[in-house]
Amino acid sequence: MRDAFIHELNLAAACDKDIHLITGDLGFGVLTQYEKDFPNQYTNAGVAEQNMTGLAAGLAMNGFKVFTYSIGNFSTLRCLEQIRNDICYHDLNVTIVSVGGGFSYGGLGFSHHATEDFSILRSLPGLSVYAPSCIWEAKELTKNLLGKLGPKYLRLDKSGMLSTRMDGETFSFEKVRDVSSGNLGIGSSADILLVASGGILEEALIAAENLREKRLKVRVLSVHSLKPFDVDGFLKRAENSKGVFSIEENVVEGGLGSLLSESLLESGVRPKFFKRFGIHSDSHTSVVGDQKYLRSQHRLLGEQITKSILDIMGVNRIHEKLAVLPVFEART
Amino acid sequence: MKSEELAKKIRLHVLEMTSRAGSSHIGSAFSITDLLAVLYQDVLKVDAQEPDSPKRDRFILSKGHAGAALYATLAELGFFDRKLLETYYQNGSVLSGHVSHKNVAGVEFSTGSLGHGLPVATGLAYSAKLRGQAFRSFCLLSDGECDEGSNWEAILFAAHHRLSNLVAIVDYNKIQSLKSIEQTLGLEPFRQKWESFGWSVKEVDGHDHRALQEVLCRLPFESEKPNCLIAHTIKGKGVSFMENQVLWHYRTARGSEYDAAKVELL
């Protein structure tokens, strides 16, 4: 994802001298070519994220299209008030980029787990929030962000598939993307709606396959834009689903799951089953492990999600009782 | 209008505005009144008729709590109607207690949380350098504000990039929110700190208009270095019973205090 972002930025910077990338002294090997090609459109602000963000505001006030770049929480939480006051209140054209969303840098320890950014940044007035789920989405998103004014946040992830593009699909910016391989039409009913943001979509797709093996009709959505959120696109699918489940590598408080539950409650759509798959924890993760391992600790692997959904929907119990696979009836 | 005359008008406005509003920070506003008067009258290339001119000098009041003084200055210079000052701090007004730029001509940047102005002013100076533009970027900070680490990040950056078009002015009245600087978090040796970070530093009496004009008309102080002007000031300057008193960081002049202050300022 990171490389796809930089690749697109490289292409755009060649034609637009107003593009300026500021790094907080991170991006070893990744930003090298960009720096070489566009030395006047690149600044290393040093390990000083508050100043990096203030500088970005100053540059944007003079017409630059600025990207701030760092990993984990450094470009976001470390300088949160600069994002709020300097960038958002002044409605400046700055894109804040964080590489290593969620547990991407799992083994580096809790300081490098970016697991609250959805919740915190989603609450900032004027800030758009994006999280691509695959390299194709990262590329398409970057292209679109280059053409969009105002404050933006882009969470990039180390995980994520090459592409979740469906046959013949053209990228719809800021719309939910239906990535169900079962080819369910928008209006058709499903037993289960899985909704994911970011690279963890890969777990949702694994869960979807497992659930389909149980003869359940499963639809999967990728939400690459948490804000603005395509409420209608989501609700259209949710209202035909028995169970709605959010999947995110973020704390459940305030993230994608909260966003979905807010949308459902406010619209009156009431799926029979609803659960937020995310980080439910009273403390930050101290156990060491890579992204997959840490997902497993939080029961976020595709297989774990599958089991949990089957439990919630009572499918396993029915199996035991009837010894046959149930097929949920479509809601009329 | 001479800067002394402008300063007198600013102080009277500030007294009026803060008393009507029941708001704080009159001492902080009086501390920077002479600095603002000289900057806007004699130094900054800004034009009330063309407040958004790309060629204008940029000025950021980083100590946003002294916003009343900036609003009064801008009104006196014709950026907006003086009558707007009567709405300061009132319900429905655009003039908030800390400086806000929204719908207020002439305010470059909104502040209020300390330590934000200098990084942004540094970004502006840096952007001018990248674009080959001639405007200068000024930032007025409080001394207590220099406790904020974000300033020192910007101070490092500005020197590294040789931003001689950047001017930081510190309102060094030696009193912060609760007590003196010395009793809170000492800044001395202050000049040497800036110098050791690679800035060119001058010190001045922040209430001596002629001295301010002289020093600020000779920018940059040195080539290839950002400029720091340490302005020695008196908190509450202009009203004897407010001068050098922490109390007047917060207190509002009412009744006899208001009358006595007005007599001294007229």
CA distance A1 to A26: 16
Total structural domains within chain B:
1
Q: How far is CA A39 from CA A21, A44, A194, A247, B23, in A?
A: 10, 10, 44, 40, 49
Instruction: Name the β-bridge partners of B227.
Output: B167, B200
Does the beta-carbon distance from B119 to A46 stay under 8 Å?
no
Task: List the single best residue of B60, B147, B153 to mutate versus A (max A Cβ within 10 A).
Answer: B153
SS3 content of chain B, % helix, strand, coil (to 5): 45, 10, 40
pLDDT of residue A318: 57
Does the beta-carbon distance from B119 to A57 stay under 8 Å?
yes
Does the beta-carbon distance from A55 to B156 stay under 8 Å?
no
Calculate mean pLDDT across residues A249-260: 98
pLDDT along chain B (266 residues), means of 10: 97 98 96 98 98 98 98 98 97 96 98 98 98 98 98 98 98 96 97 98 98 98 98 98 95 96 98
Task: List the single best residue of B61, B108, B127 to mutate versus A (max A Cβ within 10 A).
Answer: B127
CA distance B90 to A251: 40
Share of chain A above pLDDT 90, in %: 89
Q: Domain range for residue B164?
A: 3-265
Chain B residue numbers touching A57 (CB-CB < 8 A): 119-120, 123
Token representation of residue B114: 């300390």
Which residues, at least 6 apart from A258, have a Cβ–Cβ distance to it below 8 Å? A119, A252, A276
Chain B residue set in contact with A, beta carbons under 8 Å: 58, 101, 109-113, 115-116, 118-128, 130-131, 133, 137, 149-150, 153-154, 156-157, 160
The interface predicted TM-score (ipTM) is 0.97
CA distance B249 to B16: 16
Q: Find the CB nearest A62 among B115, B124, B149.
A: B124
CATH number, position B67: 3.40.50.970
Amino acid, single-letter form, for residue B96: S
Q: How far is CA A235 from CA A27, A186, A328, in A?
A: 39, 10, 20
The reply to whether A177-322 shares the fold of A2-156 is yes
Share of chain B above pLDDT 90, in %: 100
Burial of B247 (0-12, 13-18, 19+ CB in 10 A): exposed
pLDDT of A204 higher than 60: yes
3-state secondary structure of A218: strand
Q: How far is CA B244 from CA A129, B26, B114, B259, in A?
A: 47, 12, 21, 20
Chain A residue numbers touching B168 (CB-CB < 8 A): none
3-state secondary structure of B152: helix
Chain A residue numbers touching B128 (CB-CB < 8 A): 62
Tell me how close the Cα of A64 comes to any Cα of chain B, in angstroms: 8
Query: Which residue, A218, A249, A253, A28, is CA-closest to A131?
Result: A249
CA distance B25 to B251: 7
Return the domain boundaries, chain A: 2-156, 177-322
Residue with tokens 């300026």: A20
Instruction: Name the β-bridge partners of B60.
Output: B139
Q: Summarize pLDDT for A58-94 with one digit per residue, the tens.
A: 999 999 999 999 999 999 999 999 999 999 999 999 9
Share of chain B above pLDDT 70, in %: 100
A:B CB pairs within 8 Å: 91
Does the beta-carbon distance from B153 to A46 stay under 8 Å?
yes
pLDDT of A138 higher than 80: yes
Q: Which fold has domain A2-156?
A: Rossmann fold (3.40.50)
pLDDT of residue B143: 98
pLDDT of residue A181: 72
A183: confidence class by pLDDT, cuts 50, 70, 90: low
CATH number of A177-322: 3.40.50.920
For A166, phi then psi, to 5°, come to -85, 160
Determine how β-strand A42-44 pairs with β-strand A218-222.
unpaired
Residue in chain A closest to B57 (alpha carbons) equals A62
Residue in chain A closest to B149 (alpha carbons) equals A50
Contact A133, A233 (CB under 8 A): no
Q: Summarize pLDDT for B3-49 with one digit per residue, the tens.
A: 999 999 999 999 999 999 999 999 999 999 999 999 999 999 999 99
